[in-house]
Each structure stands twice: as structure tokens, then as C-alpha cells.
Structure 1
């Protein structure tokens, strides 16, 4: 019936439990076995069969697993219950508190050799540390989670693989994040491992990196596959994530009403589930939708609500990213000084290794504000810093646009050759729209 301790360990456990219950070897053995067999078993000189252990467990009044492994069913049930509580803390409370809970549960699961519970605790630690912005720690937690289930089927490892990809994505390593997600999708689809939950999780997760890389064709295809898989999936959190991700592709296509409808569906599911970070992210994206539609006052309200919710959870990285979007809206509403102060305040929480795309966005906006104030030197400095961040991340779409802005600035200040170089750099990133230079797109799922 699966794993069990060595015979001598099992034998000592049987003897201890028998003595605790005041039973003789004969009483434990009857009616199926002999006292001599029990004596040999207690001495560790025989490996008992499953049938023998079932008989002894029944006579001792314990579970089979407790006798075979020393782990009571009650212990495992209690551990799983507390893992659920930690998950609830992460969803509705404070990410740092959740990380502490998961760390304690991980230590307990390791002590008792419970691989599945270790995996769940490591996944929770990874998600918690992503929220607090410690992306290197998050990546290590997800790698350890994968190792826990190294021999399990690929669909069981997908949440850990996806977590690792997200930690690379948020660190600005877009190409590697896409590589991880695409190669896993290929393995699932080509291997006939049709697990709708695993596939939907991966397709929803790859949309963000595709969009930031300027690979809109692939993002749209991933959204199409995700929508086709959705009827086969029952997990409301997964469906909500899908709606939120698909909204990004609809925004890029200018389908603002459809994007807003998808975000409304996601927000309603997250409200029901009380997933506060994800609900905050819906407010964040709805703020972006309103900004795109010129409804700046409503955009400011949604983004401020998102930031307040994220600040309350101490989700530092996400809060800083929202602040960049909010600063853009403030600038467009004529509150440039307030926007600049906000950007300077959050730049300390963003870096090339942590939120590179939004750090670049902050410098780009500071450059625009500096240009408006006719401080061309400061504007150029911010544009160049943004350019460096985007080149490192491989964010082709944003990079091409920034090269145009830098080129225009250089041309206006009389540096024509430097302006031409900037334009050429931008054109180089426009040459292959909709691709990632990572080879063919993943195999299509058997829908």
C-alpha cells in the first residue's frame, strides 16, 4: 500500500503500541497469526505483508498508515486543514503572515516526510513571496516544489512550473518565462496529457509575457485556446484568472467594452472567493481600461482603490506597479507634480531584477514630465534608463515606442545622427511583430 518504514522501525512501533495497550503477543496475533510471528516482527527480522499490518492495526486500534509510517491520518488531515487556512490568509489577509504560516507547515511536512504537503506549502511560500516582492526567494520555493513531485505526472507539477515562470516574468526575464511556459504547453499537448486545468493555467499565464514582448498574435491565440478550454474547468479561481488575462488581449485590439466585461466577470468571482490581491488587480486593469477610453477620473478612482487594497496586504511589488499606472493618469489630468513625486517614491521598490517593465514605465513617464518642463537633459536621462531596462527584458513593443520618443527628443535638440540611431534601434524591434524568436508556437491543444 505504498511507502512504509524499515522492518525494525515498524517492529519497534508495534511493540510500543502493544505494550501501551496492555496486550500480549498472543492476544495481538490471534486469531490469524502466531505469537512467534509477532515476536519476529517486533524484532525487525521480517517485513510484514499489508494483510498482516492491517490485522495488527485493527487489533491495536490505529490506522494502517500510522502503523506503517508513524504518521497518523489525523496528523495529515490536520496539516491539510492548516494549509487551507494559510491559503485563506494569503487570499484575504497579509502575505507576510501567510508566508510565516506556510514556513511552519513546510517544516512540519518535512519532519514527517509528506511530499504532497511539502509541495503545497512550497507553492504557498512561492505565491506569498511573489506578493512581498522577493522574486529570487519565490523562484527557489517553486523550484523546490517541482523537486518534491519530480516523479509525478507533469500536470501535477504545472502550478510550480507556472510559479517559476511568473517569478522570472516579474523579474523582467520575459524570454525565459515564455520558454518555460511554451515548453510545458508543448510537452502537455504533444504528449496527449490533456488536463484542462493545467492547460488553462498555462495559457492564461503566458498572455502577459507575450503582450510585454510585443507578440500580440501569440497572445491572442493563447486567449482563444483559454476561452475554448474554460467550459471543461470547474475551478472558479482559474476561470477568473482566465478572464483577467484575456482582457489584456482585448485591450490591445481596442475592444474596450469586451475587456471591461471580462474584468467584471473576474472581479465578481474574486469577490465571491474573497481573493483580495486578485480583486485589486481587477481594479488595476479596469483603471487602465478607463484610462484608455479617456475616462481619467474613473481611472484614477479604480487605480487608487487597487493601490489601497494592495498596500493593506503589504504586496509591495504589485502596489508599486499600480503606482506607475496611477501616475500616468495623474499626469494626463494635469497633476504632473503629484505624478512625479509618486514615481520617485516607488522607484526604490522597482529595479531591473524586480518589476523591470514598470520601472522602465516610471522612467519613461518621468522623461515625459521633464520634457513638458523643458528639462531636456533630465528627459534624455530617464529615456535612456528606461531603454536599458526594456532592452534587458526584451519588451519589444514598449522599446520601439520609447526609441521613437528618444529619437524625437534628440532631433529637437539638433543631434540628428544620434536621433537616427535611436530610430533604427526602434525599427529593429518592429521587424517581426507577433513573434518571440523562440521558434514555432506551442502545439495546439486537443480541444
Structure 2
């Protein structure tokens, strides 16, 4: 009964439809009601019961839903089917086409007051913008989606919150991204809303920021919880995302074979689901894994495939990130000129507000290439730029190592005091506890 227009609106609608069909009030009322009742209803002076509206709808030849709300029959169902189509378009890497579909769906949902479908369209537009590298627009769309859901249960708002967190993470705002994810996990666990899908999405999403911040113990714990939750989750795309995220912690712990097995599982699920961007990310991570094992030829093949797939899909930000990993492998294989050209191209696409950690990675690698070419001045410039980006992002995991590299460079060039300063800075980051919020780690969910 709550999802109905006000009596005045329904009354005018009944009057209009009756006039269009050439019916009198008596003809509309018979045999169950009186002409006076129809007159009172059309004037908006009575709130018709559901049986009365169903009788009138039947006499007018329209669906009850259309008479009560003004929406065409089964509109919400049709919109949800089209939302699925738009999601499939985005999965195949056609972000621009998907954005057009979502925009049209959003307009229809707004016109007919369908809040849930409106939020879903906004969420899709946020994903499209993020994939295209427009993090500001993506974040705004995720915020709007969360607002449209209003007082909906927290598990329903989790995808929008996660989208906001990812946009902050990709912009290099690691600490705030972790705050969003951790506080949501705490609220879910504290209030007893133990929705497996929502929990798995959050735990899988927090692993990347944890790793970049050097909070490896928390990343490993999140991975452990995610693996335990997976059997309770029916969405294969979500399970695939979990496997891809968990592989990163396994790799950091030296469990290369298990990491590769997780990536193989993820890639197979993404192939079945035809989600090309995530499949490309699996190739990217397998390339990184092979590089860590010293299998540079295999690493180059995987990373070239990832970069090619992402570039073809115009996933600008992810493409640039994969390019940094590819450049590292190219340099290690003696193809430094190609690596440097690729990195300069990447830096044209990235910025401190858009991919700060990978911008830092590009400058770090350009510094190494310059140092190998005995260009100390250029090397120092790139290392300093990388340090600035990592400090702004709070990426403690990479800061200590970069400080050591800068210190070694300064020491070799005879600048001992400057080198000591760099080493001290690095030690400060190395000994930092790696805490990510002011409070403890999120509580363990019931598993």
C-alpha cells in the first residue's frame, strides 16, 4: 500500500483514462461500486482500497501497478533486465557503450521514481568512470548511489561504499580507502549483518591498500577471512575477485604456487563470465608472479597480453598500471629504451591525483634506468619525485626501499649527510607499526 501515489494523483489518472476510453462513471463503477464513489475518488477525496483500484484497473484495461503508481506494468523488471545487459557490456570492456546504457536507464528510473534501479544505474556509471580513469566522476556517482539507497540495510549499500573506497585507493588516498572499508566491516560485524557477499567484497577490496601500506599482517588476515567466506557466496564474479586479491598476499608470503593456483581459478571464472577487464588483471598478476620468480620471458608475455587487453578496452588507468610492471620486466631483460619510452607515456596518463602509487613506480623505475646509464642527476630527480608521491599516498610498503635506493645513490656521489638523512627516513617507515586506522583491526566475522 505504501508504494502508491497520493489520492489526488490517482484520481486525476482515473479520470483521464476513463475519458480516453469513453466510459461514464457508472460504467466504470459497475457492478461493485457506485458512480458517487468514482466521483469522490476522481476528486481525490478518498483513498481507494487495493480491491477497488484493482476493479477500476480491470475496467480500464490497465495493470494495477500502472493505475496506482503511473508506471508501465513490469517496468522495474524490464529495467533490471536492461541493467544486467549494461553490466554485461561493461564486463566485455565496452565502458563507453555501457555508460550510455546506464545513463538511459538512470533517466527512466528517475522519471518513474524507482530508487533501487536508480542506485544500480549510478553504481554502473561509477564503475564505467573508474574503468575509464575518471576517478572524480566515479566517486561522485558512487556517492549518489549510496544516497539514493538512503536507509536501506547496510549490505545493500556496501557496493557503493566499496566503489568510493576503490576510487580513493586508485587516487593514492590509501589511508582513507582503508578507513572506509574497515569502518564498514566493523559496522557489519557489530550490528550482526553478517551478509557473506558484502563481507567478502570488503575483505577482498581491502587487501590491495593494506599491501601498499605495508600492513602485511592485516592483508593476510583479510585474505584468510575471504577464503573462509567464499563457500557461502554464490556470485562467481565475487569469488573470482577474491581469488585474485588473495593471490597477492600469498605471493608476498613466498607461496608462489598457491598464488598461481588462485590466479588460475580467477582467470577461469572470468573467462566463463566473459569479464575481460578482470581477466586482463589476472594476466597482469601472473606476469608479476613470473617476474618475481625470475621467469622474465613468461612474465613479459603475460604482461604484454594484459596491457594489450586493457588498452583495447580503453581502461586507461589499469592499462597504465600494467605498463609499469611491463616496463620493469623489459628493463630487466635489457630492453631499457623500450621500457623508458613506455614509462614516459604512462606518466602522461597518470597524475598525483590519479594513480599516485603507480606514478611513483614509474619514477622509481626511470630512476633505476637513469642510474644504470650513469645519469646520477636524472636518477635522483626521479627518486625524489617517487618519494613525494608515496609519502602523500601513505604507501609505507615501498617508501623504505626507495629511501634506501636514494641513500645509496647519494652516498656513491659523495653526499654522505644527505644519504644519512634518506636512510633515517627509510628506517622510520620500516619501523612504523603499519597501523591503518586509529583503532584495532576489524573484528573477525562469524565463519
Using structure 2 for the length normalisation, give the TM-score: 0.98
Conserved? CA contact 2:179–2:436, under 8 Å: no
Residue in 2 that maps onto 1:2:
2
- Deviation for aligned residue 1:150: 1.0
- Deviation for aligned residue 1:311: 1.0
Report the Cα distance in structure 1 between the residues aligned to 2:107 and 2:414, rounded to whole angstroms. Answer: 64
Report Cα offsets for 1:65-106 as digits up to 9, x if no partner: 211110022333332222122111101141122112211221
Residue in 2 that maps onto 1:396:
396
Conserved? CA contact 1:300–1:330, under 8 Å: yes
- Deviation for aligned residue 1:28: 2.1
Residue in 1 that maps onto 2:27:
27
Number of residues paired by the alignment? 447
Residue in 1 that maps onto 2:48:
48
Conserved? CA contact 1:94–1:312, under 8 Å: no
**Are 1:371 and 2:377 an aligned pair?**
no
Residue in 2 that maps onto 1:213:
213
Report the Cα distance in structure 2 between the residues aligned to 1:20 and 1:84, rounded to whole angstroms. Answer: 36
Report Cα offsets for 1:337-381 as digits up to 9, x if no partner: 110011011111111100111000000000000000000000000
- Deviation for aligned residue 1:199: 0.4
Q: Secondary structure at the match of 2:239?
A: helix
Report the Cα distance in structure 2 between the residues aligned to 1:44 and 1:307, rounded to whole angstroms. Answer: 62
**Where do 1:96-111 residues align within 5 Å?**
96-111=96-111
Report the Cα distance in structure 2 between the residues aligned to 1:39 and 1:238, rounded to whole angstroms. Answer: 55
Residue in 1 that maps onto 2:411:
411
Report the Cα distance in structure 2 between the residues aligned to 1:412 and 1:342, rounded to whole angstroms. Answer: 28
Residue in 1 that maps onto 2:180:
180
Conserved? CA contact 1:404–1:422, under 8 Å: yes
Q: Secondary structure at the match of 1:22?
A: coil
- Deviation for aligned residue 1:193: 0.4
Report the Cα distance in structure 2 between the residues aligned to 1:184 and 1:54, rounded to whole angstroms. Answer: 43
**Are 1:303 and 2:303 an aligned pair?**
yes
Report the Cα distance in structure 1 between the residues aligned to 2:111 and 2:264, rounded to whole angstroms. Answer: 44
- Deviation for aligned residue 1:306: 0.6
Residue in 1 that maps onto 2:204:
204
Report the Cα distance in structure 2 between the residues aligned to 1:438 and 1:381, rounded to whole angstroms. Answer: 34
Report the Cα distance in structure 1 between the residues aligned to 2:76 and 2:198, rounded to whole angstroms. Answer: 25
Conserved? CA contact 1:182–1:442, under 8 Å: yes
Report the Cα distance in structure 2 between the residues aligned to 1:93 and 1:248, rounded to whole angstroms. Answer: 24
Conserved? CA contact 1:215–1:436, under 8 Å: yes
Report the Cα distance in structure 1 between the residues aligned to 2:93 and 2:166, rounded to whole angstroms. Answer: 22
Residue in 1 that maps onto 2:271:
271
Of 23-32 and 311-320, the range deviating more from structure 2: 23-32
Residue in 2 that maps onto 1:446:
446
Q: Secondary structure at the match of 1:348?
A: helix
Residue in 2 that maps onto 1:359:
359
Residue in 2 that maps onto 1:239:
239
Q: Secondary structure at the match of 2:349?
A: coil
Conserved? CA contact 1:168–1:176, under 8 Å: yes
Conserved? CA contact 1:407–1:418, under 8 Å: yes
Conserved? CA contact 1:367–1:383, under 8 Å: yes
- Deviation for aligned residue 1:287: 0.4
Q: Structure 1: state its 5+ residue gaps.
A: none
Q: Secondary structure at the match of 1:257?
A: helix
Runs of 4+ in structure 1 deviating by more than 3 angstroms, as ranges, are none
Report the Cα distance in structure 2 between the residues aligned to 1:173 and 1:233, rounded to whole angstroms. Answer: 29
Report the Cα distance in structure 1 between the residues aligned to 2:416 and 2:99, rounded to whole angstroms. Answer: 53
Report the Cα distance in structure 2 between the residues aligned to 1:445 and 1:355, rounded to whole angstroms. Answer: 31
Residue in 2 that maps onto 1:63:
63
Report the Cα distance in structure 2 between the residues aligned to 1:434 and 1:302, rounded to whole angstroms. Answer: 32
Report the Cα distance in structure 1 between the residues aligned to 2:251 and 2:434, rounded to whole angstroms. Answer: 16
Conserved? CA contact 1:217–1:435, under 8 Å: no
Conserved? CA contact 2:9–2:44, under 8 Å: yes
Of 2-11 and 368-377, the range deviating more from structure 2: 2-11
- Deviation for aligned residue 1:9: 1.3
- Deviation for aligned residue 1:61: 2.8
**Where do 1:328-343 residues align within 5 Å?**
328-343=328-343
Report the Cα distance in structure 2 between the residues aligned to 1:446 and 1:72, rounded to whole angstroms. Answer: 43
Report the Cα distance in structure 1 between the residues aligned to 2:246 and 2:271, rounded to whole angstroms. Answer: 19
**Where do 1:156-167 residues align within 5 Å?**
156-167=156-167
Say if 1:437 and 1:122 are closer, same or farther in 2 by CA, change over 3 A.
Answer: closer
Report the Cα distance in structure 2 between the residues aligned to 1:302 and 1:264, rounded to whole angstroms. Answer: 13
- Deviation for aligned residue 1:107: 1.5
Report Cα offsets for 1:209-247 as digits up to 9, x if no partner: 000000000000000000111111000000000000000
Report the Cα distance in structure 2 between the residues aligned to 1:229 and 1:204, rounded to whole angstroms. Answer: 11
Report the Cα distance in structure 1 between the residues aligned to 2:411 and 2:427, rounded to whole angstroms. Answer: 16
Q: Secondary structure at the match of 1:429?
A: helix
- Deviation for aligned residue 1:140: 0.2
**Where do 1:248-259 residues align within 5 Å?**
248-259=248-259
**Are 1:386 and 2:386 an aligned pair?**
yes
Q: Secondary structure at the match of 1:73?
A: coil
Q: Secondary structure at the match of 2:430?
A: coil
Conserved? CA contact 2:29–2:35, under 8 Å: yes
